Amino acid sequence: MTKTTTACVMLPAERLDLFNAERLARRPELDLHFIPYSDPPEVRQARKLRQLTPALAARCPVLSPRDEAALARAEIAIARDLPLDLGRRAPRLRWVQAVGAGIEQLDPPGLAELGITLTNASGVAAAPIAEFVMAQLLAIWKELRLIDQQQRDKVWRRTQTALVAGKTLGIVGLGAIGRATATRARAFQMHVLGTARRATAGQQDPDVDELFPLAELDRMLTRCDAVLASMPATPDTAGYFDAARFAAFKPGAIFCNVSRGAIVDEPALLAALDAGRPARAVLDVTAVEPNPPESPLWHHPSVHLSPHSSTSMEGYGERLVELFLDNLARWQAGEPLRNVVDPGLGY
């Protein structure tokens, strides 16, 4: 007889269909419960920064008695956010499958102390994010913003645009997103440089043309026409791109951040943009989200700002379910899971 495992899918009400309920309902080994749960943005931001106050904690959603009972039985949770006081409310919980690559708000060290394994969804959004990065770079080099404005202004003037082939892209963080972007950049005949935490001098990597140890990052930056930040947000990477880092940029370069806003010193970036190193910044993330109305990022002429628009929901649910079901089979067989988060590293 198949052992039944209780699992809770905890997502915003409008996102509960992200998981294919009909497909999962056909799994006899799953006692599946869909619980609408989503922390307010300011609560999620505070939990990411470990700055949750009692006043903010009071704004966390309240579960119904039925949902509390399901959570108390759950061995698995699939979630973007989790309720507070998880040890008391979910004493049987042993595995959390995050629905995204970013997991700071889930408190990996805290889950580890409770004996709970955390896996992220790294790779699920890699293709659409890489496409977004290339679209933004192409839009800048091909002056699409100016051309669009000229159409609205009824100006018929030929615009000089740049050749993408032969340009150099530097990728800081060779995870799934970095590698997916490298593949697409090479298709445009770009020269791709990369660096990663574990890279060593002289090491080669099949996805990039040249690999640099992290200690040589500034040397790499001097050669790049565009720099992609696709590294994880951890205590070690907070403010990683600061004034000194931007000073190493090639004049006229583009800086693109699809990681987390916390890795960028935003005042330093704005000053660097005014100096032309970099000349443009593509920011799909900001230090505080939603980006405050008073933020100068909104109106700086060299900033291309978007609210986490790089991830496409088209096909996301299917890829997420595939990852979850693969990990479920591994979990039931006692095999290592994919995308296990190291609580010490934060990714």
Phi/psi zone of residue 234: left (φ > 0), alpha (ψ -120 to 50 degrees), beta? beta
Give the C-alpha separation, 210 to 213, whole Å.
10
308 assigned to active site: yes
- Annotated catalytic residue, options 75, 131, 210, 289: 289
Give the C-alpha separation, 128 to 224, whole Å.
23
Tokens found for residue 206: 């099949």
- Annotated catalytic residue, options 308, 319, 330, 338: 308
CB 341 within 8 A of CB 108: yes
Give the C-alpha separation, 35 to 11, whole Å.
7
CB 72 within 8 A of CB 89: yes
299 assigned to active site: no
223 assigned to active site: no
The candidate with the shortest Cα–Cα distance to 186, out of 210, 203, 221, is 210
DSSP secondary-structure letter at 320? H
CB 303 within 8 A of CB 281: yes
Give the C-alpha separation, 16 to 34, whole Å.
7
For the chain, the straight-line distance linking the first and the last C-alpha, in angstroms and rounded, comes to 37
- Annotated catalytic residue, options 260, 266, 277, 280: 260
Question: Residue 73: how many CA atoms within 13 Å on its side-chain side?
Answer: 15
Task: For helices 144-152 and 126-141, give the axis angle rounded to 10 degrees.
Answer: 60
Give catalytic residues, as residue numbers: 260, 289, 308
